[in-house]
Structure 1
Amino acid sequence: MCGRFMFEPQASPEIQRIYDLACQSGAKPATGEVFPTDLTAVVVSQQQNIIVTTMPWGFPGFQTNQNIINARAETLEQKRLFARPFQTQRAVYPTTGFFEWNQVKEKYWFNYTPTPQPLYIAGFYDYFSQKRHGIIITTKPNAAVAPIHQRMPLLLSKKQISPWLKDIKFARQLLTQEQPPLTATLKSKQNQEG
């Protein structure tokens, strides 16, 4: 599961540019620690152009106040809620790292290095009441995440963003790719949900 991530424009010129483009779309995305239902910066393909926009994180669920924030890579095309939007409306979440919690509620931050770097997470979106909502794809954990949590976000390199957004065959292959090495940094031992 991925229940929180960081979006720090000041940490990287690349993320700052994405933030500025998102703001130009008409709404300011959440910065700092991003929570489910927050308005997020999202990269999408629109008429073969790659653009940055904003949308809330999570699909409205089947029960009141339910929010579905993740889709499992292994089964998403078997789920009616996920199959069509994955096939036609993929997205990328630009971040500066993500969080996972272990069983004793210790909070860990993950990125390629111990300092914030642009880290891109695969996702997709759909329309609910004519408004776009996005979701993050999760997969089996790599060696860094496995001791802490049984799931992690599906990560993309910068060069994989365009084919992920535009090529369903490429996207399907990416669902099973091995995840790149990451570093884990203990952030807190507070009793927080993850």
Structure 2
Amino acid sequence: MCGRYLFDPMTGELDEYWKIIRNVAEKQNLYEVDEVATGDVYPSNNVIILGANKEGQVVPGVTKWGFTGFKKGQLFINARSESVEEKKTFGKHFRERRIVFPMNGFYEWNSDKKKFLFTDHKEVIYVAGFYRMHENVAESIIMTTEPNSIVSPIHDRMPLIIDKNDIDKWVLDLDFARDYLKHDMDKFENMSVKSA
């Protein structure tokens, strides 16, 4: 389960996304730029994502991380890739509004509550997700899957990582996305892990 991640806007492509969002925020007065999370990102934060605009182009945007639950204070932050379409709360949104979360890395905790940061030598990791509109707020979910050999000694789940070359297909092509749900994460075993 991915419950925190790292977004450092001074890093490579993340800097580009941050600048675009900052410009949009200033022009449209939708939110203050300091309301968009950087550093360690927590559920309920406003976060930068990549999703489709009305013209079908994949562009940076902002969502709140987490679906408001049925009970007061409840927040759904992850969805299991294996069963996403079976869940009434998630299925329609997965089919219609897929996104990607760009990040430097994600955190997981072991059974002793020790925190670890998983990163990639390419500096940016792209994680699968989707969003919905709820009371005029875009709310987003990170998708999780079975862990690869790097993550499995620490935790029994990990985010569903999207290869950079597959971002557009993930966002725009439902058949591709459904097939991608079956991918194992072995391809991402060049990740590094360190205590955080």
TM (normalized to structure 2)?
0.91
> How far apart, in 1, do the equivalents of 2:184 and 2:8 lie?
26
Match of 2:194 among 170, 185, 194: 185
Q: What's the counterpart of residue 166 of structure 2? A: 160
C-alpha contact (below 8 Å) 1:140/1:152 kept by paired residues: yes
SS at match of 1:40: strand
> How far apart, in 1, do the equivalents of 2:167 and 2:65 lie?
19
Amino acid at match of 1:125: Y
Q: Which residues in structure 2 correspond to 1:23-62 (within 5 Å)?
A: 23-26=22-25, 27=31, 28=33, 29-47=36-54, 48-62=56-70
Q: What's the counterpart of residue 7 of structure 2? A: 7
Amino acid at match of 1:38: N
Match of 1:174 among 156, 159, 180: 180
C-alpha contact (below 8 Å) 2:104/2:120 kept by paired residues: no
| Ranges in structure 1 where 5+ consecutive residues have no aligned partner | 188-194
> How far apart, in 1, do the equivalents of 2:11 and 2:138 lie?
27
Q: What's the counterpart of residue 69 of structure 1? A: 77
Q: What's the counterpart of residue 28 of structure 2? A: none
SS at match of 1:133: strand
Superposed CA offset, 1:47-88 (max 9, x none): 211121111100001110111000000001000110001001
> How far apart, in 2, do the equivalents of 1:106 and 1:127 lie?
35
**Matched pairs, number:** 184
Q: Quote the sequence identity (%).
A: 35
C-alpha contact (below 8 Å) 2:48/2:63 kept by paired residues: yes
RMSD: 1.1
C-alpha displacement of 1:22: 1.9
> How far apart, in 1, do the equivalents of 2:21 and 2:164 lie?
18
C-alpha contact (below 8 Å) 1:25/1:54 kept by paired residues: no
Amino acid at match of 2:16: R
C-alpha displacement of 1:163: 0.3
| Ranges in structure 2 where 5+ consecutive residues have no aligned partner | 26-30
Match of 1:123 among 108, 129, 144: 129
C-alpha displacement of 1:25: 2.9
> How far apart, in 2, do the equivalents of 1:110 and 1:11 lie?
16
> How far apart, in 1, do the equivalents of 2:137 and 2:116 lie?
32
SS at match of 1:136: strand
> How far apart, in 1, do the equivalents of 2:194 and 2:3 lie?
16
> Which deviates the most, 22-31 or 142-151?
22-31
Q: What's the counterpart of residue 97 of structure 2? A: 89
> Which deviates the most, 26-35 or 153-162?
26-35
